Structure 1
């Protein structure tokens, strides 16, 4: 829902007045009558046209000046409104009964919009003094004066920020508001209010209705595609919030009685599906029109005008309990909420910085954008985001990118295309941006490495708590996106269809800058002689920060860059998001900064073979005969048995589970010994006479836990090579079967057929051929760790 700047309307005394100053009877009188009639019917454009013609003939007529000024003031275009100031100023000294006593208030409002706060305060005060002491309007005038005084203070410390209208591709002559973006900032969803092909029976004109549009950025592009309507959403539905991975969306659905509720749905191929209302603890009999989920989806902040609040729309917080059910909502209290409206909460992924807009607090003009920070479990007194982020018009629905470098909001300030427009706010990339880590990853599985249905659960190792319900990688691409705060250690449990769950440890450094981690996870079957006997997981990480000079090293803001960009410090306290803001002193610096801000690093563009940005892949193998080695992981009320934890940070590789335990080491002679098992011609049957020899090898494996065994199969030169290769495989497989049947783990055996042996000269006897019908067994050193 949006609110328009309320211009305090005059009572249309003009309809009954008969004194027209300089204008007597005749055509001019008829034109004036028509202008007044149009004003009474709120047809201000037609009335303004008539008054403009009259002004050319009667530029000193008080009534004509007042009428023209009033029509400008009532314009829906903020660029036109303040044009009424000189006409009101001309009419103000008049003592004519034709001019209403509300003129000082009306002109004060225009001064207010034009940032002429002291003049506005003077006129508001004069108007207040002529009002009866019991006038209901006094509260409104006092509030207008408060906002003007706030404007005086805020204008003394203007912020040097980059604010840009998002242009005609997104904004139109109608109203666009409530922008929401995904974590990768390549998807923008917003609401527009415009006429639809439905005729209002009362006015006979096309009805206006809200609908939701979306636009995308193609890979590597800085421009948005043409907006399209988000399917699955009816009219009178507005965008509210988006999860960082863009898989769930919160919507506002209006009701015919003026109320409305919050709904949540899934996004599937640019369509909202499975749309369902939040439960009654969140939706009440009143109005719930905005909300924001924390990055772990465990906390919802929302606005409501339910009974028991401080007045208007209040902000509430509701958390999930240990069973994943919503507890009871809690009003954020008098520190945050006022008797006016507080709406559109946006909780930053740091889970402690909350943004919202309010017509209360120290607003400088209707809706202003504020922020508050949670300290010791309570939110601090909200801080006005300052000028020019806020203006004397409506500035609302603020969201910020995960890296803290870009913000998006809507405003009906002058300079737009009409109604409310969506604006971009640029913030510098420097040491004080929010130090979160954005993980862009992909899970692929199988020999052909294709996406498979996957769930990812993240556990905070310090608290043992589930960070979020479940992350679902995109079913078409396998891509996932997760946001982490700094200085923490997490276990990611990856459950892919057809694969044993794998736990991957991820260590988030305690950095002071925004960090992007690119990750690919590959799951493959492990085969021995075309039989799947286990699974292998390979994880590789890459770090690719944007650098204005090219290359992959992390950005450091040099004094030169700071000079060019005029980086300044102000009251916004950017460590929590916006302490430092940015402005460009010239067009070159401006273009340089915009390129920096809009730069994207899609996963497809990351070269995991580039050692400058990518770490070596870390691999672990799990064999099905080691199910007793599965590790129980407590996830909420569930226990998931996963393969042993795989550590990916270079400093933690030594923690990866040893494949073979340390123990007694064999002498050199053990490695040199070769055990030979012979077979009959064209046969792969293991003879009982060799059981003792194999048992001796098995005993060595038990005696020396740190060794493995190689099983090499061979055949003689009779027959063709392909057949002999298969025969040698069968012989090696028989030996493998015997050893695993005696309890030898498959990971300790490397078995392979090599086909027929090549010998110099011609083999003349069966005795010589018999020597090649064999399997050779050797004790070898085993790899010491997974992950290497």
Structure 2
């Protein structure tokens, strides 16, 4: 927030001699202390004292004004300022005695609280009474009037975005600012005034600034950590990070008496392995005797933009640029000129990875108050007129440090908003309507033939023989990242001491725009090379793995639930030379699984590619060998491999792709807040009403059971089940369980007497009932395995849990591919597939939430499996024994309206446990009847259609899913392109319903209420979750429309 310089009696050139009439202040000593805090800008301390004094003299005009002034400068309290300053005027004995400062700050209070028209009235009144000779003040009033008019215009035309607070892991009650995020959004650095190094308080009452770093793990930001090498007892502020995360830029200022800065300079620290180097001051072409406060370096590392208040500028902070010379040093700084810089502050530049779009904060362009964020594009060497990025990105407070992602769909920035945790917080903006730059992010690591990182490499990227970027991978890890345009051809050269220089060509198809691809590039050792020895490939051809993302469902019961045999996908094509014995590093190829997620508008060109035998038979073996480490790959006859066994560089599957969901017409992306799932009422009822087998005097007894080998066979035959073990004893203890009907006594393989309850088809069912039984007083029921209705023998230390299968491959890949995930296990199955799984979960619901995060990260094949005694056994999605059949037309991650299938009719949509939308045609009592109708579906062009049994748990998000009589609901949003229901998971599982309107819009509603008043009472809760367009509506409206 800009600190206002116009106070009553404090540093004000515009104050009148008259001041509000004061009632007696009882404690003058406290009043003087508060005045000192106010003069030093410590508004929180001053406010607490003024409030205490005001409680004793509530009609004191001076205290009302001073407290209102403090609140005006505390972002979280600004809404209270208007009432207090109005009271100050009310309690003044004569309106002629009201100082101009009071009216001026009343107008500022109206302005900052979006009461633009009221502010304009006060500003225009001030224009009538200010002396014509006081040109400085008159110009300031005129500027405030312009900002209010800008505010009216911008608020009237809001941009289509959503703003999400990054939450209390990143933000605190203190100020957080200057977020810097790497191009792949894996690392964020920021500055915080929380209690950190030295625990010293500045004169404004906040702690000295420190630098923090957080990493995104499984789609969630980790706990931020300070960087000891960079944080001192003085102010230390991070201001930027390079696109590849290898360079961190810092602002440091020398302080005199801890009151004023003697300028400030920019420093750089470089990442060496996992450690940051000591900060080094940038040279004199960037730093000067004046203040340099912010910096941004282009993605190719060749241009810097920074802000400075050095002499010769246009006024306040100006933005400058410098370019790297051929000798590697920075050239002379050049002011960006009047197109960008104004007489006011122009600060916090960020150059987009496209190298031509500049974002910055300005108080001088068309701002609605304080610093607003603006955008300008360099076209043929000239900067376009800066454009305000709009409301609600910009507000009446200071909005600064704007960092968009390469695809333009998201941005990070610092601001104060309703719901902030204290002062300024860091927010994520989602911008579905933003123009996309068409960039391609290539990241990965450089390794040797043993898979170890190669340090000291240099990557040169050229286009048409002209160098466009030189990149230095991390010296210890070999990691690299660079950004290039899609739809272009590039020459790549990688040089490292002790290795052969790699020179190859990289063709980026246009459809790879706004995507990210991971690669592991293997360098060959520098040895004497014979005439026939292989060298690097001449070209690299990428695969659009996004097209082949499949979600595996129903692996146990149906080999028919599959992708059609004629649907195949491209494999990498790599040119090869002749023979040499080198350890093979083979390109991974994802195996096709069940239920293809169909893109109806796009297909993959497979011409010229060997497509034979390219689909996986979908009935997997349900038992796999124990976990084993990733080993060297075996060759696959279906993949073209050079005779030396090396595919280099290796481009691995795209695991981080942009969201495919079409742009919403109304915006509101919820803050993703995890809520604990309640116990299923249906399960509660099942326990209460279920007929349980009673035994007259004793509990039923059963004999011991067989070995683990029979368990495996039983699973294959479908005899696997689960039960709840309420306790086990060396001797019979039936009297302990008399209050619970249906308990069975079983002598287990351990020769103990087990008392079990229930029989459940899957682990999820058992775990739900387990919670209910525990509430009945049985505190430690455990889930046990049944095979053929007998307790299975379990290994010592064995356990049952859920896991998420990420992918299954015939040819295993290096573990480095999953470097953005922890706890990845590898299972090698008897069917020849290598399965990669992620983490352990006791709760199925928690597994689903994490699975959805993985899908957002690009692991589109993720689904849930159960692990028993460390053996991966069967899929989490089960079929029922129902004899009902249907024809599945297609399965989509994001839904289409049912009108899309109007040529068929009789199409229903079901959402499975993983959030996949399944479109089905008809319902049949026999498989034969369904097969007879299959031809009708195929003839209409739905070539992926197939017959299957109806799925357990299928549910329909239909228009009639709510009772309509005299009920109200809250409409969350209406979209032309529908979103999956789990998109709204922060509103609670099952709370959101979908209504497909006759106008083609998909409307999403929250709960149902018996009156409109009750619906309105919950409306604020929905709005606070980020759904700013929510409103109440009668449910019967949806039946008509």
- Please say if residues 584 and 590 of structure 1, whose CA atoms lie closer than 8 Å, have aligned partners that are also in contact: no
**Structure 2 equivalent of residue 90 of structure 1:** 87
- 2:26 corresponds to 1:38: no
- Please say if residues 583 and 590 of structure 1, whose CA atoms lie closer than 8 Å, have aligned partners that are also in contact: no
**Structure 1 equivalent of residue 129 of structure 2:** 130
1:485-504 equivalence runs, <5 A:
485-504=485-504
Query: CA separation of 1:546/1:185 partners in 2, compared to 1, >3 Å: closer, same or farther?
Result: farther
Query: CA separation of 1:548/1:421 partners in 2, compared to 1, >3 Å: closer, same or farther?
Result: farther
**Structure 2: how far apart are the matches of 1:193 and 1:557?**
50
Q: Which has the higher contact order (CA 8 A, sep 6+)?
A: 1
**Structure 2 equivalent of residue 621 of structure 1:** none
Instruction: Quote how far apart the aligned CAs of 1:522 are.
Output: 2.3
Instruction: Quote how far apart the aligned CAs of 1:422 are.
Output: 0.9
**Residues 253-305 of structure 1: per-residue CA shift (max 9 Å, x gap):** 22345212222231124433154332222222212221111111111111122
**Structure 1: how far apart are the matches of 2:304 and 2:283?**
12
**Structure 2 equivalent of residue 416 of structure 1:** 420
Instruction: Quote how far apart the aligned CAs of 1:107 are.
Output: 0.8
Query: CA separation of 1:53/1:17 partners in 2, compared to 1, >3 Å: closer, same or farther?
Result: farther
**1:407 aligned residue (411, 417, 421):** 411
- Please say if residues 211 and 230 of structure 2, whose CA atoms lie closer than 8 Å, have aligned partners that are also in contact: no
**Residues 479-517 of structure 1: per-residue CA shift (max 9 Å, x gap):** 321110123221111123322201021012234841222
Instruction: Quote how far apart the aligned CAs of 1:343 are.
Output: 1.0
**Structure 1 equivalent of residue 220 of structure 2:** 222
1:199-598 equivalence runs, <5 A:
208-218=207-217, 220-229=218-227, 231-234=229-232, 235-256=234-255, 257-273=261-277, 275-428=279-432, 432-446=435-449, 448-462=450-464, 464-469=465-470, 471-511=471-511, 513-524=513-524, 536-537=535-536, 541-545=542-546, 567-568=664-665, 583-584=667-668
Query: CA separation of 1:330/1:61 partners in 2, compared to 1, >3 Å: closer, same or farther?
Result: closer
Is the deviation greater in 231-240 or in 243-252?
231-240
**Structure 1 equivalent of residue 7 of structure 2:** 9
**Residues 351-370 of structure 1: per-residue CA shift (max 9 Å, x gap):** 11000111110111111111
**Structure 2: how far apart are the matches of 1:206 and 1:197?**
16
- Please say if residues 438 and 515 of structure 1, whose CA atoms lie closer than 8 Å, have aligned partners that are also in contact: yes
**Structure 2: how far apart are the matches of 1:46 and 1:425?**
33
**Structure 1 equivalent of residue 1004 of structure 2:** none
**Structure 2: how far apart are the matches of 1:556 and 1:316?**
48
Q: The residue matched to 1:497 in structure 2 has which SS?
A: coil
**Structure 2 equivalent of residue 676 of structure 1:** none
- Please say if residues 199 and 208 of structure 2, whose CA atoms lie closer than 8 Å, have aligned partners that are also in contact: no
Instruction: Quote how far apart the aligned CAs of 1:240 are.
Output: 2.2
**Structure 2 equivalent of residue 154 of structure 1:** 154
**Residues 165-216 of structure 1: per-residue CA shift (max 9 Å, x gap):** 111111112221111111221111011234567698997x988422211011
- Please say if residues 345 and 362 of structure 2, whose CA atoms lie closer than 8 Å, have aligned partners that are also in contact: yes
- Please say if residues 394 and 413 of structure 1, whose CA atoms lie closer than 8 Å, have aligned partners that are also in contact: no
**Structure 1 equivalent of residue 999 of structure 2:** none
Query: Which one has a bigger Cα radius of gyration?
Result: 1
- Please say if residues 230 and 270 of structure 1, whose CA atoms lie closer than 8 Å, have aligned partners that are also in contact: no
- Please say if residues 520 and 540 of structure 1, whose CA atoms lie closer than 8 Å, have aligned partners that are also in contact: no
Instruction: Quote how far apart the aligned CAs of 1:237 are.
Output: 2.8
**Residues 594-651 of structure 1: per-residue CA shift (max 9 Å, x gap):** xxxxx9x9942799999xx99xxxxxxxxxxxxxxxxxxxxxxxxxxxxxxxxxxxxx
TM-score (norm 1): 0.64
**Structure 2: how far apart are the matches of 1:226 and 1:49?**
31
Is the deviation greater in 146-155 or in 264-273?
264-273
**Structure 1: how far apart are the matches of 2:189 and 2:365?**
29
Query: CA separation of 1:545/1:331 partners in 2, compared to 1, >3 Å: closer, same or farther?
Result: farther
Q: The residue matched to 1:468 in structure 2 has which SS?
A: strand
RMSD of aligned C-alpha atoms? 4.3
Query: CA separation of 1:195/1:293 partners in 2, compared to 1, >3 Å: closer, same or farther?
Result: same
**Structure 1: how far apart are the matches of 2:427 and 2:490?**
36
Instruction: Quote how far apart the aligned CAs of 1:326 are.
Output: 2.8
Query: CA separation of 1:5/1:565 partners in 2, compared to 1, >3 Å: closer, same or farther?
Result: farther
Query: CA separation of 1:163/1:602 partners in 2, compared to 1, >3 Å: closer, same or farther?
Result: farther
- Please say if residues 5 and 394 of structure 1, whose CA atoms lie closer than 8 Å, have aligned partners that are also in contact: no
**Structure 1: how far apart are the matches of 2:344 and 2:395?**
18
**Structure 2 equivalent of residue 109 of structure 1:** 108
- Please say if residues 177 and 422 of structure 1, whose CA atoms lie closer than 8 Å, have aligned partners that are also in contact: yes
**Structure 1: how far apart are the matches of 2:194 and 2:480?**
35
- Please say if residues 346 and 354 of structure 1, whose CA atoms lie closer than 8 Å, have aligned partners that are also in contact: yes
- Greater percentage in helix: 1
Is the deviation greater in 168-177 or in 104-113?
168-177
**Structure 2: how far apart are the matches of 1:46 and 1:431?**
42
Q: The residue matched to 2:510 in structure 1 has which SS?
A: coil
- 2:76 corresponds to 1:79: yes
**Structure 2: how far apart are the matches of 1:388 and 1:496?**
49
Query: CA separation of 1:533/1:238 partners in 2, compared to 1, >3 Å: closer, same or farther?
Result: farther
Instruction: Quote how far apart the aligned CAs of 1:456 are.
Output: 3.4
1:659-670 equivalence runs, <5 A:
none
Query: CA separation of 1:553/1:282 partners in 2, compared to 1, >3 Å: closer, same or farther?
Result: farther
**Structure 2: how far apart are the matches of 1:199 and 1:274?**
22
**Structure 1: how far apart are the matches of 2:81 and 2:818?**
55
- Please say if residues 516 and 545 of structure 1, whose CA atoms lie closer than 8 Å, have aligned partners that are also in contact: no
- Please say if residues 500 and 524 of structure 2, whose CA atoms lie closer than 8 Å, have aligned partners that are also in contact: no
Q: The residue matched to 1:188 in structure 2 has which SS?
A: strand
- Please say if residues 355 and 398 of structure 1, whose CA atoms lie closer than 8 Å, have aligned partners that are also in contact: yes
Q: The residue matched to 1:403 in structure 2 has which SS?
A: coil
**Structure 2: how far apart are the matches of 1:173 and 1:154?**
29
**Structure 1: how far apart are the matches of 2:526 and 2:333?**
50
Instruction: Quote how far apart the aligned CAs of 1:71 are.
Output: 4.3
- Please say if residues 85 and 102 of structure 2, whose CA atoms lie closer than 8 Å, have aligned partners that are also in contact: yes
Instruction: Quote how far apart the aligned CAs of 1:49 are.
Output: 5.6
**Structure 2: how far apart are the matches of 1:108 and 1:556?**
56
Q: The residue matched to 1:102 in structure 2 has which SS?
A: helix
**Structure 1: how far apart are the matches of 2:277 and 2:21?**
62
**Structure 2: how far apart are the matches of 1:165 and 1:588?**
10
- Please say if residues 240 and 248 of structure 2, whose CA atoms lie closer than 8 Å, have aligned partners that are also in contact: yes
- Please say if residues 194 and 210 of structure 1, whose CA atoms lie closer than 8 Å, have aligned partners that are also in contact: yes
**Structure 1: how far apart are the matches of 2:30 and 2:18?**
13
**Structure 2: how far apart are the matches of 1:552 and 1:306?**
60
Instruction: Quote how far apart the aligned CAs of 1:133 are.
Output: 2.3
TM-score (norm 2): 0.49
Query: CA separation of 1:129/1:52 partners in 2, compared to 1, >3 Å: closer, same or farther?
Result: same
Query: CA separation of 1:263/1:465 partners in 2, compared to 1, >3 Å: closer, same or farther?
Result: farther
Instruction: Quote how far apart the aligned CAs of 1:11 are.
Output: 1.1
Instruction: Quote how far apart the aligned CAs of 1:545 are.
Output: 4.4
- Please say if residues 112 and 396 of structure 2, whose CA atoms lie closer than 8 Å, have aligned partners that are also in contact: yes
**Structure 1: how far apart are the matches of 2:262 and 2:483?**
37
**Structure 2: how far apart are the matches of 1:438 and 1:553?**
24
Instruction: Quote how far apart the aligned CAs of 1:337 are.
Output: 0.5
Is the deviation greater in 378-387 or in 316-325?
316-325
**Structure 2: how far apart are the matches of 1:315 and 1:460?**
29
Task: List alignment gaps of at least 5 residues for structure 1.
Answer: 569-581, 592-598, 615-788
Query: CA separation of 1:545/1:363 partners in 2, compared to 1, >3 Å: closer, same or farther?
Result: farther
- Please say if residues 264 and 278 of structure 1, whose CA atoms lie closer than 8 Å, have aligned partners that are also in contact: yes
- Please say if residues 66 and 99 of structure 1, whose CA atoms lie closer than 8 Å, have aligned partners that are also in contact: no
